[in-house]
Amino acid sequence: NQNKMEQHGIYLSSFYLFLWMGVNIFLFVWYYFYYDLGDEFFYTRHLLGSALAWARAPAAVLNFNCMLILLPVCRNLLSLIRGSFMCCGRTIRKQLDKNLTFHKLVAYMIGLMTGEPSFFLLHCKHFRQGVYDKLSTALSALEDGANTSYLNPVRKTDIIPTYFVFTTIAGLTGVVITLALILIITSSMEVIRRNYFEVFWYTHHLFIIFFAGLVFHGAGRIVRSQQNEKAHNFTFCKDRPEDWGLIPECPLPTFAGVPGYHPRTLAVTLFLLPFFRPGCGCVGFETLLELQLVKSGFKMDVGQYVFLNCPAISQLEWHPFTMTSAPEEDFFSVHIRSAGDWTDKLIDIMQKLPEGAQGPKMGVDGPFGTASEDVFDYEVSMLVGAGIGVTPFASILKSIWYKFKEGNPKLRTRKIYFYWLCRETHAFEWFADLLCVLEKEMEERGMGHFLTYKLFLTGWDQNIADHAKVQVDADTDVITGLKQKTHYGRPVWDKEFEQIRKENPTSVVGTFLCGPEALGKVLEKKCAKYSEVDPRKTRFYFNKENF
Amino acid sequence: MGKIEWAMWANEQALASGLILLTGGIVGVAGQFRGWQFAAYAVAAGVFVCLLEYPRSKRSKGTSVERPGQYCFTVCVKAFGPLTRNYYVRAFLHAAICVPGGFMLATVMGCVCLGIASLIYLAAAIRGEKWMPILPKVEVKAPVETMKNPPQNPPPRPPAEFRRKHVDDLEGAAYDNPMSVTADE
């Protein structure tokens, strides 16, 4: 019983996927037949067999996919597209959230197309054990000169194949880029990516070598086609190689190489380079440091993140941090936890600073945009932050409150439901403090109902539960000191959605999550389940954050 | 970069290399290319490397994710003790295995990839990492107490004077109710 909106999103995704797959299949089939049936490749096919077509078809698919692979991860380009699609509705912008999935899909296709030709080298006569037939010998004997041109790039019959590979541009670049690709793939495996992020990150930069090698891979032009088919008819001449050049019907066949990348392609690639700002994953937390930074001309939106660099620690390392300040403040802040060498050193430097002194100079790159910019558009917002995913919501909540105080017309939100799930709050006391401050301010203005938040401690143990039982009558929560009580265990989403629907019978509710994928799937389903088809009734829209 | 366990990446790389070596070997043998004997060797070497590398090691920090069906491989690999536990041995073993692959074009890719895996294992070994098997936890069950022992001591009682029932208040002495009872409504 899926609702229309969710169906719409699924149709759009399927459409793009279908389109992409369609182009891949088309390219493969087109180029397969181009090389397998083309007259100009008749002699080439005689030497290479069906390996020619089976190797060139994936090459075409590779060209297409290598062009595509960078686009889903060009952060600047994505931000640009998001901005220009402001008018085109939420559905299109949500497609951009699936960028990483698409990047992985294209990567699998590249891997597959790189491996496939190896099977079809079985037909490659260049390096066979057996003896060349009369035609092949004649073709291979063609020299590179004034009136003649060669076909067989392998000039000697006793050449060692490996030696040949390493002394041609195509061979050498081929080995180098395949190696780069394999290293990138092995370091992108889920185990490595999730647990040893720097290995994944630095190894992925081998893509620079990959593209450099790819651009020059065809420069040697070793795949050659016949140029003078009209003068030299192969149907007649193929059985008479001994007469070539001696009878008028069969002048020596001339060959030229199939060109590699056109300079135009190179120009486009270089043009796209400034748009490329690779993103990466979450930062883990331990001891906390709040860094407040000031930069002239810096503009940010809620929930965005920046890359920070500290030359005093490392010239090369840039690390991403979600900003925890609101755009309305005159500084921007990040909360940094000890999660590795770089963050440890930064915390160490800051701790050693004397009172009131300014910190070392930092490099800032960004800010980079996310879907949380949509959060002000909804009348009712349902925000779910799990674990460290709560960080962007600090920025969002602060900004909503500032906008509300100023009476900012851009703010359509009039009710927020905030769900905070974490194992233990010790790690997020700063966030609890923020909620405390907001709670007080709202009470003072009689706006206690603007923000409803629920904290779920998923890592409770018997001690905590016993303590809570004893304190059940206290005014404020025993763990956080907040007025609204802490719940233990995970939320029962059906109950929560029911409550929101009951309290807001005619509104559009935007649901935002920053947390694990599994939770995202659950929420997506619930959003679909509790949305009414009737546009006058409650509808839930799900937006997933992906840091 | 301090917390990286190089062995985890070396393992992924070595497994991939094993597969590439195997594939290259199959192509080389099936196509009867020059030097196909090296390809035949590569098939055997590829299978061996895959079997050795399939069981993932237990991580020293954090949760370890098993590969599907790796338990039997874990047991086999564990049986070799220090030979498979020590990464120096693995590094040199892979370096030695990969060399013959370099003599034939179809297997050259597998050779280079395995060589790189060998280098990463060397880095892991230098940092003192070890291969540890992921074994299912054997839970030690405490003996379930189905019956608690009966109490050894009698319950505490007030002194004898208070226990004696008072003859003058027979009704009060007949039934001593600790809690007031109200009728259910």
Q: Decide if pLDDT at A97 tops 70.
A: no
B99-127 b/e with 16+ CB inside 10 Å = b? ebbbbbbbbbbbbbbbbbbbbbbbbbbee
Q: Decide if pLDDT at A388 tops 80.
A: no
Q: Decide if pLDDT at A231 tops 50.
A: yes
Share of chain A above pLDDT 90, in %: 4
Q: Decide if pLDDT at A92 tops 60.
A: no
B146 confidence band (pLDDT: 50, 70, 90): low
Ordered alpha helix ranges (H), A317-374: 341-352
Q: Decide if pLDDT at A545 tops 60.
A: no
Query: A176-180, A390-394, A396-400, A486-490: which range is least confident on average?
Result: A486-490
Residue with token string 């003058």:
B168
Q: Do A179 and B112 touch (CB under 8 A)?
A: yes
Strands A363-368 and A380-386: unpaired
Q: What is the mean pLDDT of residues A92-118?
A: 74
Do B13 and B116 touch, CB atoms closer than 8 A?
Answer: yes
> Cα(A530)–Cα(A429) distance, rounded to whole angstroms?
33
Gyration radius of chain A over CA positions: 31
Pick from B117, B97, B121: nearest CA to B42: B97
pLDDT at position A184 is 92
Residue with token string 């930062």:
A283
Select from A94, A111, A127 the last residue of a domain. Answer: A127
Q: What is the mean pLDDT of residues A400-429?
A: 80
Q: What is the mean pLDDT of residues A23-37?
A: 92
What chain A residue is nearest to B5 in terms of C-alpha separation?
A: A196
pLDDT at position A118 is 67
> Cα(A35)–Cα(A51) distance, rounded to whole angstroms?
10
pLDDT at position A468 is 64
Q: Decide if pLDDT at A198 tops 50.
A: yes
B170 confidence band (pLDDT: 50, 70, 90): low
If interface means Cβ-Cβ distance under 8 Å, which residues of chain B face chain A? 1-5, 8-9, 12-13, 16, 20, 23-24, 27, 30-34, 36, 56, 59, 62, 65, 102-106, 108-109, 112-113, 116
ipTM above 0.85, yes or no: no
Q: Do B59 and A340 touch (CB under 8 A)?
A: no
Q: What is the mean pLDDT of residues A71-89?
A: 56
In a domain, A326, yes or no: yes
Q: Show Cβ contacts of residue A46 under 8 Å, excluding neighbours closer than 6 positions.
A: A135, A136, A139, A238
pLDDT at position A89 is 42
Gyration radius of chain B over CA positions: 35
Enclosing domain of residue A469: 372-545
Q: Decide if pLDDT at A174 tops 90.
A: no
Q: Is B120 helix (H, G, I), strand (E, B) or coil?
A: helix
- Residue-by-residue DSSP string for B29-86: HHTTBTTHHHHHHHHHHHHHHHHHHSSPPPPSSS---PPTT-HHHHHHHHTTTHHHHB
Looking at every residue in chain A, the average pLDDT score rounds to 76
The answer to whether the Cα torsion of B159, B162, B165, B168 is positive or negative is positive
Q: Which residue has the higher pLDDT, B94 or A480?
A: B94
Q: Show Cβ contacts of residue A74 under 8 Å, excluding neighbours closer than 6 positions.
A: A272, A275, A276, A277
Q: Decide if pLDDT at A153 tops 80.
A: no
Q: What is the mean pLDDT of residues A136-164?
A: 70
Q: How many domains does chain A have?
A: 3
Residues A487 and A502 in one domain: yes
The answer to whether the Cα torsion of B182, B183, B184, B185 is positive or negative is negative
Q: Is A510 helix (H, G, I), strand (E, B) or coil?
A: strand
Condensed to tens digits (0 to 9), the pLDDT of residues A511-531 reads 888 888 888 889 989 888 888
Query: To the nearest whole angstrom, how far is the Cα of B156 from the nearest Cα of chain A?
Result: 29
**Which CATH number covers residue A313?**
2.40.30.10
Condensed to tens digits (0 to 9), the pLDDT of residues A365-386 reads 878 765 566 778 888 888 888 8
Residues A387 and A363 in one domain: no
> Cα(B111)–Cα(B94) distance, rounded to whole angstroms?
9
Bond prior to A311 in cis (omega within 30° of 0):
no
Residues A347 and A382 in one domain: no
What chain A residue is nearest to B106 in terms of C-alpha separation?
A: A118
Share of chain A above pLDDT 70, in %: 76
Residues A431 and A539 in one domain: yes
pLDDT at position B169 is 58
Residues A419 and A456 in one domain: yes
Q: Decide if pLDDT at A9 tops 70.
A: no
**Token duo for residue A340:** 């590795």
Task: Return the domain boundaries, chain B.
Answer: 6-126
B41 confidence band (pLDDT: 50, 70, 90): very high
Q: Is A488 helix (H, G, I), strand (E, B) or coil?
A: strand
**Which CATH number covers residue A387?**
3.40.50.80
Do A291 and A334 touch, CB atoms closer than 8 A?
Answer: yes
- Residue-by-residue DSSP string for B141-182: PPPP-SSPPPPSSPPP---HHHHSPPSS-HHHHH---SS---
> Cα(A201)–Cα(A203) distance, rounded to whole angstroms?
6
Ordered alpha helix ranges (H), A38-122: 42-48, 51-70, 75-84, 90-95, 99-115, 117-120
In a domain, A4, yes or no: yes
Query: To the nearest whole angstrom, how far is the Cα of A241 from the nearest Cα of chain B?
Result: 26
Residues A307 and A363 in one domain: yes
Do B25 and B107 touch, CB atoms closer than 8 A?
Answer: yes
Rounded to a whole number, what is the largest CA-CA distance in chain B?
120
pTM, entire model: 0.61
> Cα(A90)–Cα(A120) distance, rounded to whole angstroms?
46
Q: What is the mean pLDDT of residues A126-149?
A: 65
Cross-strand bridge partners of residue A510:
A381, A541
Select from A344, A368, A392 the last residue of a domain. Answer: A368
B167 confidence band (pLDDT: 50, 70, 90): low
In a domain, A402, yes or no: yes
Tell me how many degrees the CA angle A500-A430-A440 measures, rounded to the nearest 5.
60
Q: Decide if pLDDT at A2 tops 60.
A: no
pLDDT at position A263 is 62
> Cα(A324)–Cα(A327) distance, rounded to whole angstroms?
10
**What letter would DSSP give residue B113?**
H
Query: Pick from B12, B59, B116: which is nearest to A189 by CB?
Result: B12
Mutate to test the interface with A, among B57, B105, B121 (most CBs of A within 10 A): B105
